[in-house]
Structure 1
Amino acid sequence: MNLKRNGALLGLFAAGALTLAACGSDNNAGSVEVDADASGATCEGKANLSGAGSSAQKNAMDNFVSTYIAVCNEKGSTVNVAYNPSGSGDGRTQFIASQIDFAGSDSGIEGEQAALAAERCAGNPAWNLPLVFGPVALAYNLEGVDNLVVDGEVAAKIFNGQITTWNDPAIVALNEGVELPDTPITAIVRSDSSGTTDNFQQYLEAASNGAWTTGAGSDFTGGIGEGAKGSAGVAQAVSGSPGSITYVELSFAEQNGLSIASIDTGNGPVELTAESAAAAIDGAEFASAGGGDLTLDLTSIFGTDAEGAYPLVLATYEIVCSGGYDADTGAAIKSFLTSAANEGQEGLEEIGYVPLPDSFKTQLTESIDAIA
């Protein structure tokens, strides 16, 4: 099934879910159909959890929260999870400072931040737990061109300024028979620290045949482009700027009615669909060597040349303490994540995500259960 869907309907879903997440309204939760008896969520612990971070996972989080509220309502408990989509970098910073119970991030916490997080977690490591996969669209605004094809090298050269017009020979070679204008290319990039930026730049490193030389990281390193804040910001900027292109999560591209490029990985153009994203995810491996942390090694996804596999896919993590929470917070975290990993996955494909494969769900559940 193609992930694309009616933008107006998606906008209504997102608006309603955002109200729910912000206000904790039981009225909105009442419209969500759930089988509470089948849920493993206990609804125990403190009633109000807090999280912040990745804007890429905002729509998925709305789904998790509304489902969790509905499950707990049926079980006779009133709960809420307030999530602020302030960006992955901000989420990790707030988590380290103990300002929130968990962080959402498109990149795992590591290095110095991981050490600081362990201090916050009473000496226990913070775990990166993937809850949903989100394909990243190369979304563009180019009149008369609805089926653009790019590859990793062309994408890198657009975002580092080596390709500056839409009729550049390298783009023409990938789009035989398409009339490409001499319109200047405007690259729109994230101005804030972003896990989406980090993943996109990792993809460029893996797939550009050496054209991307400025490295990865949560801040854009390409040295060009016009900045906009958040996933919604870059999508809106492209919507209002003919000749522009950005990297953004599929749901935001769809909400703004943007065209989405196919990616040629060496076996022909691959359109962004649920099936093509899942084909790439099948090749993912874990970077961590055992234990409860489930950080993924996405190099094999970004550099895939498997037939029919769409390579630009990021993992959305929840960063949690593996131990060190007070009893009420720990119980609530485990309850919420259990719901999110199971019934919360329902409906994600309809809003632009790829739900957890069963193999990931099994390992994720084991990690959630192991939170002390």
Structure 2
Amino acid sequence: MRYQRRVAAIGLIAASALVLSACGSDENAGGGGVSAAPGVTCGGKPDLRSSGSSAQNNAMTRFVATYQQTCQGQTLNYTPSGSGAGRNEFLGGQTDFAGSDSALKDGDETTRAQARCASPAWNLPLVFGPVAIAYNVPGVTDLVLDGPTAARVFNGQITTWNDPAIAALNPGKQLPAAPIVVNFRSDESGTTENFQKYLVAASNGAYGKEAAQTFNGGVGAGARGSQGVADATKNTPNSVTYVESSFAQRGGLGMAQIINSGGGQPVPLTTESVATAINNVQISGQGNNLTLNLNSLYQTSAPGAYPIALATYEIVCSNYADDPTGQAVRAFLQTALSPGAQQALPDAGYVPLPDQFKQRVTTAVNAIQ
């Protein structure tokens, strides 16, 4: 079957549900009922292996449960070893596909993927989780920020809550004259990298730092993991952090409304606002290689679009060297796109794929050989 190209019909029903939060990369997810996925042709390799992004681990737990319910006797062993390790293990042939907060890089990684697959590799964005700018400011329950102002908070240029730049975005609110305490991830983190990418893209040069998995703002106090920064902010009045919104929710923290690059009204983090941003994101890859131009998300000007989210790719072979592996990978991803699997995501802190975007991913998944 290698290099044959057949386009399978889209056989899954799109489903979009509620949101609230993001990639619980460090902590456990809740339970929830599991139902079999309709319209999936099971079979192939019985024990798939995958590894990579810890940010999608809780989503993968739900996807695996749906896969096992749908395809009796088949399973996937997913190891949340981190995005870089996941890509390397896939390229080295140790796993059947990878989960990664970053798409394969042009050049060496793409060349190695072609050699590993004996076909092109595809980057398929399957999991999205919004990132909140979470805060603990006594007396302030509806803070508004925009990209340039947030960038100047997180690089230390704005140091008090009643700074004129913050006050201009929050007219009529009693902002304290207290110093701002920034809490950041002390460990390497895809959340940190994606949040800094937002600050770079949306600040018109105000951030002035490079985006990396380590925090480069040069200000504040470090804490390990998502739970660590959420706890530090909960326990420190007048502090602020960036964190997956499930952690902000559980900690009772405020979540800033964001004025996106189009100006206009502040946008709260909701199901609809994140889905609007995802639906408007641009795809830079060709065909079924759905690499995203994330700057189009961070710099979105769409009314009602919340602009800060992390995307995780499943990196797959478009045409596997052995048919059983291709069949099983396709079936697993089809179950992950099913209504039951998608509707379970909010409990784990992720965003179900909106219909329009989900159709693109489904088409690509159905074409895996």
Same fold (TM over 0.5): yes
Residues 1:45 and 2:44 aligned together: yes
Alignment partners' CA distance in 1, 2:68 and 2:234:
34
> Quick check: 2:36–2:67 contact (8 Å CA) kept in 1?
no
Decide whether aligned partners of structure 1 residues 15 and 289 sit closer, same or farther in structure 2, where only a CA change above 3 A counts. Answer: closer
For 1:263, the equivalent position in structure 2 comes to: 258
Distance in 2 of aligned mates of 1:93 and 1:240? 39
Q: How far apart, CA to CA, are the structure 2 residues paired with 1:366 and 1:87?
A: 27
Q: Distance in 1 between matches of 2:329 and 2:108?
A: 21
1:32 aligns with 2:72: no
What corresponds to 1:367 in structure 2? 364
Query: Which residue identity lines up with residue 318 of structure 1 in the other structure?
Result: E
Instruction: Indicate whether 1:282 and 2:287 are aligned.
Output: no
- The TM-score normalised by the length of structure 1 is 0.82
User: How far has the Cα of 1:371 moved from its partner?
Assistant: 2.5
For 1:206, which of 190, 194, 201 is the aligned residue?
A: 201
Q: Which of 210, 213, 216 is the aligned partner of 2:211?
A: 216
The answer for the alignment partner of 1:320 in structure 2 is: 316
1 or 2, which has the higher helix percentage? 1
Deviations 1:269-321 (A, max 9, x none): 1111111112222221211132x210111222211233222111232211223
> Is the 2:184–2:241 Cα contact (8 Å) retained in structure 1?
yes
Paired with 2:187 and 2:94, the residues of 1 have a C-alpha distance of 20
TM (normalized to structure 2)? 0.82
Identify if the C-alpha distance between structure 1 residues 164 and 116 changes in structure 2 by more than 3 Å, giving closer, same or farther.
farther
Q: In the alignment, is the contact (CA less than 8 A) between 2:114 and 2:121 conserved in 1? A: no
Q: Kindly provide the CA deviation profile for residues 126-173 of structure 1, in whole angstroms up to 9, marking residues without a partner as x.
A: 321011322211112233322111110111111111122222221122
Q: Are 1:105 and 2:104 counterparts?
A: no
User: Residue 39 of structure 1 contacts residue 71 of structure 1 at CA under 8 Å; is this kept in 2?
Assistant: no
Q: Which residue of 2 aligns with 1:332?
A: 328
- After superposition, the CA RMSD in angstroms is 2.8
Pairing 1:51-130 to 2, within 5 Å after superposition:
51-72=50-71, 77-112=72-107, 114-115=109-110, 117-118=112-113, 121-130=116-125
5+ residue gaps, structure 2? 1-16
Give the counterpart of 2:305 among 297, 302, 309.
Answer: 309
| 1:27 paired residue number | none
Matched, 1:226 2:227: no
Query: What letter matches 2:80 in structure 1?
Result: P
| Of 97-106 and 309-318, the range deviating more from structure 2 | 97-106
CA contact (8 A) 2:30 2:347 kept: no
The yes-or-no answer on 1:346 pairing with 2:346 is no
Bigger mean CA deviation after superposition, 175-184 or 108-117: 108-117
Structure 1: 5+ residue stretches without partners: 18-30
In structure 2, distance between residues paired with 1:323 and 1:189? 41
* Alpha carbons 2:284, 2:290 under 8 Å: kept: yes
Do 1:89 and 1:195's aligned partners in 2 also have CA atoms closer than 8 Å? no
Q: Deviations over 1:185-231 (max 9, x none)?
A: 23233344433333222222221122022233444333334334443
Alpha-carbon distance between aligned partners in 2 of 1:190 and 1:112, rounded to the nearest angstrom: 30
- How far, CA to CA, are the matches of 1:301 and 1:181 in structure 2? 32
The higher relative CO (CA closer than 8 Å, separation ≥ 6) is in 2
Q: Answer yes or no: is the 8 Å Cα contact 1:140–1:246 preserved in 2.
A: yes
Deviation at 1:341, TM superposition (A): 1.6
Partners in 1 of 2:245 and 2:310 — Cα distance? 11
> What residue identity is the alignment partner of 2:45?
K
Deviation at 1:15, TM superposition (A): 4.3
User: Partner of 2:312: helix, strand, or coil?
Assistant: strand
Give the 3-state SS of the residue equivalent to 1:356 in structure 2: coil
Relative distance call for 1:111 and 1:226 in structure 2 (3 A) is farther
CA distance in 1, matches of 2:186, 2:95: 24
Q: Is the 8 A contact 2:18 2:351 kept in 1?
A: no
Q: Deviations over 1:39-63 (max 9, x none)?
A: 3141x23333333332332332222
Q: Distance in 2 between matches of 1:113 and 1:219?
A: 24
SS of structure 2 residue aligned to 1:136: strand
Report the Cα distance in structure 2 between the residues aligned to 1:191 and 1:107, rounded to whole angstroms: 20
CA distance in 2, matches of 1:41, 1:316: 25
Rate the CA distance shift 1:51–1:187 in 2: closer, same or farther, 3 A.
farther
Q: For the residues of structure 1 that align with 2:39 and 2:46, how far apart are their CA atoms?
A: 18
